[in-house]
Amino acid sequence: MPRPLNTEKRAELLDQVVRYLQQHGLAQMSLSPLAEAIGTTKRMLLYYFDSRENLLAQALAANRPDARRMFGDVHDAAGLRRAALGLWEAITVGEQAGPIRMLLQLLSLATTEPEQYGDLAADTVEVMVGPIADACVRLGDAPQQARARATLLVSGLRGLCQDRLVTHDVARTDAAARRLIDCVAVPG
């Protein structure tokens, strides 16, 4: 009978993996150097996460805003605006400010190495777009229009976040994010 996973140890390893990836990036991620750097073995990483791809997916999932929670109670334009401002804050000054760098790296890698990163990147985008589109449908958008509005918000904020990371211009990117959010929050 297989030994049950130690969930506490797994969570600790995942936290260490995330910190390592934030510092070293995703592009050249290899399990052996990663394991050595965090004080474990490649075998243990595979034991807890099954594969490099699964480890990467779980590291990204563990550190992204919960769009379903953030947008789940949106029933009017003001609620959409509040949730979108909360998302912007989460990815720029909140606990997601560090992990957003991993997401931006993943999306970049997916354009040059789609076989390796494409599906994970697409899933990562959908995890954000889907719940926001659902909120827009509740506001009266047709499904296709809701997905377009959600995509504008997600991609726009992500682009502004990248701009902010590159230029360090907080005032300009905050103003642009508020303007984008105001435009997206307007019905229809």
Which percentage of the chain shows pLDDT scores above 70?
Answer: 94
List for the chain the helix, strand, coil content (%; round to 5).
Answer: 75, 0, 25
- What is the DSSP code string of 63-99? TS--HHHHHTT--SHHHHHHHHHHHHHHHHTSTTTTH
Return the pLDDT at 23: 79
Above pLDDT 90, what percent of the chain? 45
For 108-164, how does the pLDDT look when each residue is reduced to its tens digit (9 = 90+)? 888 998 998 888 889 989 999 999 999 999 999 999 999 999 999 999 999 999 999
Closest CA to 131 of 86, 70, 58, 180: 70
With respect to CATH, is domain 7-61 assigned 2.160.20.10?
Answer: no
The widest CA-to-CA distance across the chain, in whole angstroms, is 58
Residue 6 pLDDT > 70, yes or no? yes
Q: Quote the pTM value.
A: 0.82
pLDDT of amino acid 162: 92
Structure-model confidence comparison of residues 47 and 144, the more confident one = 144
Q: Where in the chain is the domain with CATH 1.10.10.60?
A: 7-61
Q: What is the pLDDT of residue 97?
A: 63
Confidence of residue 1 (pLDDT cuts 50, 70, 90): low
Arithmetic mean of pLDDT, 25-48: 85
pLDDT at 188: 62
Q: Give the residue, 177 or 51, on which the prediction is more confident.
A: 177
SS3 (DSSP) at 53: helix
Measured CA to CA, the distance from residue 83 to residue 57 in angstroms comes to 25
Instruction: Determine contact, residues 124/106, Cβ cutoff 8 Å.
Output: yes
